[in-house]
Copies of this chain bind each other. A is one copy, B any other.
């Protein structure tokens, strides 16, 4: 087995991979930027290397610096996590050039799947359903008009190099096509330095359902059930579950087998995810493939009992899968909430800053994958994901009840998080019934106006007033008649708390 793995990432996913390494007896190596000097992934690693200034381009996206650390640390493999360089085929090549194993697919498979239009062609070749639309980049606005007319409105314009919702535009009717085409192209150009767009049928109220795959270098493929990821804001997932509330064993088999056929086309190995859109009649269409570990992999792990990160590492080392499709059993239901540093009341505005209090839930059926700790200054430079809170229970209703309990136990102070948002969503009828689609939040999330005044709210206001008064009073009183000894200790405590990660 590998002796040392460099984790080319940060935050919760770096921590997740470090843990897998530790459990496999592999020494984990971290990298860090200025803003991450005392990040959790640094604290938990065996070795940590400084790779530059806080902006990602100067650190986590710098291939050169990471390759230097590879050489210096003598790591024999690299795990890219998700995001950053995880889907960059050039990085795969650079890693392999210095004789180090990339824990992921071949550069070729990554490239093929990274190009949306090519991936779509592969899916068609694999006899998997795809959303009706262009097979190739649109040459012109005229072509766009023509194709849109043919497949019928509404249609969707998408950046060929895209991801994360950038360069995407829905077009409801013909007269809006020209301007949408313009905007999508310029967004795509700005975001990916590639203005190429293509066009697809727009699926009304689609569900986002994806299949988790594992494939080894010997050509064995298994699917590990699906994940429903329809709860999205800004086209990014915020709640994921396994299984999907709509999936039957038969639908799962169909989607799983289609997914494997697609992956086979690219001779794919590693963990991988085939994303589908499902319409209201449960027809499903290939959307894209993610050639890396997904953020939401824990729900699959909870339901299948398989450790995806360990499997990735074993596959990269050349080991064949130790199980076949018939060994994969789904048990119960799992739901994940992405705890973001965002103010859901204010349109999910990012909210970095210092975590002054962190009290995480525990007890039966709880899994937390966190990248932060009390006292940590959440940097302004990176993704706002603080932690993934997942629960498992025997059934979906029990998982929802457990998640509610667990969110009530979760306390993060100092910054705004999406915890209150999740509490609200879990109480909604449509969520409880599993009536989900990718427009869910837009339709169902209306940040609270003032709660109506009840005797209960009045009592809570009274208690809040009392606690404020007592807190204020104690704070002042204590400082007036403190002893030298108290002052000594406490000043230091304040100093480390306030300054946190450095001196």
Which A residues contact B (CB, under 8 angstroms)? 15-16, 19-20, 22-25, 44, 298, 301, 305-307, 329, 331-332, 359-360, 362-370, 373, 393-394, 398, 401-402, 404-405, 408-409, 474-476, 478-479, 482, 484, 486-496, 503
Contact = CB atoms under 8 A, between A and B. Distances in A.
A298 B362 CA distance: 13
A364 B44 contact: no
Nearest to A360: B362
B474 A488 contact: no
A285 B112 CA distance: 63
A364 B503 CA distance: 33
A15 B362 CA distance: 10
A493 B490 contact: yes
Contacts of A402: 23
Contacts of A301: 364
10 contacts: A19-B405, A23-B401, A305-B394, A307-B364, A474-B492, A479-B491, A482-B487, A486-B491, A487-B487, A490-B491
Q: Is the interface of A mostly helix, strand, loop or mixed?
A: helix
Contacts of A20: 364
Contacts of A394: 305-307
Contact of A332 (B305, B359, B486): B305
A482 B494 CA distance: 10
Contacts of A478: 488, 491-492, 495
Given A373-B359, A401-B23, A487-B482, A495 B474 contact: yes
Nearest to A20: B364
Given A332-B305, A479-B492, A401 B487 contact: no
Given A364-B19, A364-B301, A368-B363, A489 B495 contact: no
